[in-house]
Amino acid sequence: MADFRALHQRGKPCIMVNVWDRGTARLMQGWGAQALATSSAAHAFTLGRPDMGTITRDEALAHAQEIVSAVDIPVSGDFENGFGEAPETCAETVRMAAAVGLAGIGIEDTALPGDDAYGFDLAVERIRAAAAAARALPRDFVLTARADGVLNGTYDLDEAIRRLQAFEAAGADCLYAPMPGDAEDLRRICDAVSAPVNVLTIGGYSAMSAAGLGACGAARISLGSMLARATHLLMKDVAEDMFGDGRFDRLSRVLARSETDMFLDR
C-alpha cells in the first residue's frame, strides 16, 4: 500500500476521492485514485438518512472496514466530530479506526448534531488527545483536524486559522477548513501553517484545477459528498424526464460493462 503521509505534498496535492461502497472504491482505484476516503454524508444517504450526525461510530467503522477490504490504496475515514465530545472519546475513535485498517481519519470541531462549534480550548484538547493516540499506534496514521466554523457560519476565517494553528501545535498531521471564501483565503490558510492543508472541491473551488489549488498551497484535495451529490443530480434529471415526459434519452450514454467489470469483485 502506498504511504499515505507521503502523498501530502504542498503544491502537488494528491486527490483523495470520497466513496461510499465497495463498488465505488474499486472503480475509483481502477480509474487511477491514489487514496480514498469515506464520506459521512454519502454513507448516510445510502442508509436513507440526512447528513450531519446521523451515523453511529459502529456504523462508520463497519462501513470503513468494508471499503478498506476492497482496495489496496490508503483509505481515510470521515469521522465527523470523532463521535463524541470528550477528548478521550476522540482518542478511542482513533484507536478503533486504526484497528479496522484506516490510514487516517478526520475529526471536526462541530458539536453535532447541530452546527455550533466546540469552544476553542475543548476543540484543541480533543485534537491533542486524538494525536497522542495516533502517535502511540504501532503504524503510521494521519490525523486530519478540521475547523468547520467558516463552512457552518459559526466563526470567521481568522478564527479558523487560529484553530488550525493550535491543532497543528497539538499534533495534527493535516489541516482542513472547508469552504474558505476564495482562493486568496485558501492561500492565507496554507501560508499560516506548516502542516499539509486539505481543500474541498465545492463551489468556486470545483472550477479550479489541481494545479491551481496546488499553487495556493494545498497538499490534498477531497471531494466530500460532491461525487455522491453529482450522481444524485443525474438520477434526479433522469427521474424528471421519466415521470414528466416519459423520456429515457439520458440513459442512451452509459459506461459499457467492460469498462467497469474489470475492476469489480468476481
Report the C-alpha gap between 5 and 231 in whole angstroms: 29
H-type alpha helices, the chain: 22-30, 40-46, 57-68, 87-99, 120-135, 149-152, 157-169, 183-192, 210-215, 226-244, 257-261
Rounded to 5°, the CA angle 178-182-186 comes to 60
- In 3-state terms the chain splits into helix, strand, coil percentages (rounded to 5) of 45, 15, 40
> Which of 172, 73, 192 is closest to 123 using CA atoms?
172
Report the C-alpha gap between 66 and 83 in whole angstroms: 19
Residue 231's Cβ-side half-sphere holds a number of Cα atoms within 13 Å equal to 12
Q: Catalytic amino acids?
A: 51
Report the C-alpha gap between 250 and 84 in whole angstroms: 43
Across the strands, what pairs with 142? 104
C-alpha grid cell, residue 203: 463551489
At which residue does the C-alpha cell 463521535 appear? 83
Bond prior to 178 in cis (omega within 30° of 0): no
> Which of 221, 152, 157 is closest to 189 using CA atoms?
157
At which residue does the C-alpha cell 458539536 appear? 111
